[in-house]
Structure 1
Amino acid sequence: MVVGATGQIGRAAVGVLARDGWEVTALSRRGGRDESWPDGVRVVRADREDDAALAAAVGDGCDVVVDVVAFGPRHARQLTSLAGRIGSAVVISSVSVYEDGQGRNFDTQHEPGGFPEYPVPLTEGQRTVRPGDTSYSTRKAALERELLAAGDRVPTTLLRAGAVHGPHCRTPRELYFVKRNLDGRRRRVLAFGGRSRFHPVSVHTVAELIRLAAARPGSRVLNAVDPDAPTVAEIARAIDAVMGRDVEDVLVDGPPPAPGVGDTPWTVPAPVVCGMAAAERELGYRPVTRYAETLPETVAWIEERLAGRDWREAYPKMVQAYGDLFDYAAEDAWLAARDV
């Protein structure tokens, strides 16, 4: 059973599992069905916040529960309460649970000097934030702790996902460059010399890891990222290539030079690059795709969503997360002053 089946990761996971021979139940709040799923997929409408509805969907039992929308200890306890009826679980976590040796993490990144400086590559042995209920990161850490503690009753593979990309994403970082290209912007400012690296992960990579973990139950945490971690400048040029655009990069050493200038959804002062050796060792994982290979479908999805709509209407969660990503007036003013 896949919980959160019609979300970005859930859609891909249902399809991969069904094609791999599993009998799949796709659970979501609206009970939708993706047109790419095989006919044998069973669709169930239920809210995972409703304990009774989730238990009813599990019924007499299932071999694996894949939970892509679990947050915090309550959801962990919801799953462990079904011990004896669930063979194992695969649950999506996040690389945001990591913190560096100075106690810096994603929750401190907006403080002066607060962005974490992780080792490269970042491995699963890196320390994590203290579990709690104060942020996305602390709730994910609490989720992990609860499920790992119950590993003898419900063996759970926790996948710490990087920056997820692909169709159906509600916060696609690629939007930043796609919309600029559609708007005919000929230059773009990139802070930190365009060298920022925030490790992406395709929905296809996550789905492959889910497929492998479903067949190899265990209590473990694994990174979930693509085989490559391109720089923000490389991402921009790859999107240009898909869209047939030629854009000049204006590279700035150091942080964004002005509000709304040079700051992209990938812009970070220090690299966030994860290793996949543990997934290779424990699951036999081998890469199924690379970042640039998935861009055509991602770009096409974003262009379709934007057609005839204001970007804020098409992607309201992007506004919540990043504010105004397209302050062209501020950028033009900075470029004009620079060119004098």
Structure 2
Amino acid sequence: MVIGAAGQIGRPAVNALARDGWAVTAASRSGGRDAAWPEGVRTVRLDREDGDALARVVGGGCDVLVDMVAFGAAHARQLTALADRIGSAVVISSVSVYEDGRGRGFDTQERPDGFPEYPVPLPETQRTVAPGEATYSTRKVALERELLAAGDRLPATVLRAGAVHGPHCRSPRELYFVKRNLDGRGRRVLAYGGASRFHPASVHNLAELIRLAAARPGSRVLNACDAEAPTVASIAAAIDAVMGVRTETVSVDGPPPAPRVGETPWSVPRPVVVDMSAAERELGYRPVVGYADSLPETVASIADRLAGTDWRTAYPKMAQAYGDLFDYAAEDAWLGA
């Protein structure tokens, strides 16, 4: 059973599991079906917040439950309450749970010098923020700890995903460069010398990790990212190549030189690069796609969604998270000066 099957990770995960021989029930709020799924996939509507509805969908039981949309301790308890009917679980978490030796994490990044300084690569043994209900990161930690504490009753693989990318993403970071190219912007400004690295995670590689974890039940936490962590300058160049354009890059040492100038969704002052050796060792994980090779379908998906539509209407969550990503007037004023 896959909860959140109609989402960006759920779609390829259902496909990977079904083609691996599993009889899959795809549960989502819409109850929709992806055209790529095999005919044998069963679909069902489910409100993730309704524990009784979840229990009814699980019914007499399932060998594996994959949860894309679990947030917080309450969702973990929904699953552990059904431990006698679930063989094992695979649950998506996030690399945002980590904090550095000075207590800095994703929740402190807006403070002066608040961005964390993680080891490179970042292992699963790195400490996390405290569990709680205050933020996305603290809720994910609470989710993880509830599940791991119940490992003797419900083996659960927790996958800490990085910067998720691929089609059907509601907040695709690639939008930043795709839209600029569509708008004919011939120059771009990149802060931090264009060297920022924020480890991406293809939906197809996450689906592969889910497929492997489903076949190897256990109580564990694993990083879940691509093989490589390209710089933001490399990402920009790769998107240019897919779209057949050439763009001049103006690199700026240090932070953005002016508000809304040089800051991309990947722009971080220190690298976020995770260690994938545990997933390789415990699951036999090998990425099924590289970042650059995955871009054509991502770019096409974004371009199609933007066609004739304001970007804030097409991607409201992106606008909410990042504000005005495309302040060309501010950029031109700085470049002119």
Regarding TM over 0.5, the answer is: yes
Q: TM-score, normalised by structure 2?
A: 1.00
Match of 2:44 in 1: 44
SS in 2 for 1:172: coil
**Residues in 1 aligned to 2:83 and 2:19: alpha-carbon distance in whole angstroms:** 27
Offset of residue 58 of structure 1? 0.4
Offset of residue 46 of structure 1? 1.4
Deviation per CA, 1:103-134, whole angstroms, max 9, x where unpaired? 00000000000000000000000000000000
Match of 1:177 in 2: 177
Matched residue type, 2:47: D
Match of 2:110 in 1: 110
Match of 1:156 in 2: 156
Q: TM-score, normalised by structure 1?
A: 0.99
SS in 1 for 2:6: coil
**Residues in 1 aligned to 2:113 and 2:155: alpha-carbon distance in whole angstroms:** 39
Matched residue type, 2:165: H
**Residues in 1 aligned to 2:187 and 2:157: alpha-carbon distance in whole angstroms:** 44
Moved more, 183-192 or 279-288: 279-288
Q: How does 1:264-283 map to 2 (within 5 A)?
A: 264-283=264-283
**Residues in 2 aligned to 1:83 and 1:161: alpha-carbon distance in whole angstroms:** 24
Match of 1:195 in 2: 195
**Residues in 1 aligned to 2:166 and 2:46: alpha-carbon distance in whole angstroms:** 25
Matched residue type, 2:72: G
Match of 1:225 in 2: 225
Matched residue type, 2:120: V
2:136 is the alignment partner of 1:136: yes
Consecutive unaligned residues in structure 2, runs of 5 or more:
none
Offset of residue 48 of structure 1? 1.3
Deviation per CA, 1:161-188, whole angstroms, max 9, x where unpaired? 0000000000000000000000000000
SS in 1 for 2:107: coil
**Residues in 1 aligned to 2:160 and 2:46: alpha-carbon distance in whole angstroms:** 26
Match of 1:99 in 2: 99
Deviation per CA, 1:260-316, whole angstroms, max 9, x where unpaired? 100000000000000110001110111211100000000000000000000010000
- CA RMSD of the aligned region, Å? 0.4
**Residues in 1 aligned to 2:203 and 2:30: alpha-carbon distance in whole angstroms:** 21
**Residues in 2 aligned to 1:172 and 1:46: alpha-carbon distance in whole angstroms:** 25
SS in 2 for 1:89: strand
Matched residue type, 2:118: Y
**Residues in 1 aligned to 2:97 and 2:48: alpha-carbon distance in whole angstroms:** 23
Match of 1:67 in 2: 67
Matched residue type, 1:233: A
**Residues in 1 aligned to 2:218 and 2:154: alpha-carbon distance in whole angstroms:** 9
Matched residue type, 1:216: R
Offset of residue 4 of structure 1? 0.4
Match of 1:22 in 2: 22
**Residues in 2 aligned to 1:124 and 1:253: alpha-carbon distance in whole angstroms:** 31
Match of 2:290 in 1: 290
**Residues in 2 aligned to 1:146 and 1:46: alpha-carbon distance in whole angstroms:** 22
Deviation per CA, 1:196-231, whole angstroms, max 9, x where unpaired? 000000000000000000000000000000000000
Match of 2:78 in 1: 78
Q: Percent identity?
A: 78
2:312 is the alignment partner of 1:306: no
**Residues in 2 aligned to 1:76 and 1:174: alpha-carbon distance in whole angstroms:** 32
Moved more, 264-273 or 279-288: 279-288
2:253 is the alignment partner of 1:253: yes
Deviation per CA, 1:231-257, whole angstroms, max 9, x where unpaired? 000000000000000000000000000
Offset of residue 67 of structure 1? 0.1
SS in 2 for 1:43: strand
Matched residue type, 2:89: A
SS in 2 for 1:204: helix
Offset of residue 26 of structure 1? 0.3
**Residues in 2 aligned to 1:324 and 1:232: alpha-carbon distance in whole angstroms:** 19
SS in 1 for 2:83: coil
2:31 is the alignment partner of 1:9: no
Aligned residue-pair number? 337
2:108 is the alignment partner of 1:121: no
Offset of residue 30 of structure 1? 1.0
SS in 2 for 1:107: helix
Deviation per CA, 1:312-335, whole angstroms, max 9, x where unpaired? 100000110000000000000000
Deviation per CA, 1:61-107, whole angstroms, max 9, x where unpaired? 00000000000000000000001100000000000000001100000
**Residues in 1 aligned to 2:197 and 2:11: alpha-carbon distance in whole angstroms:** 27
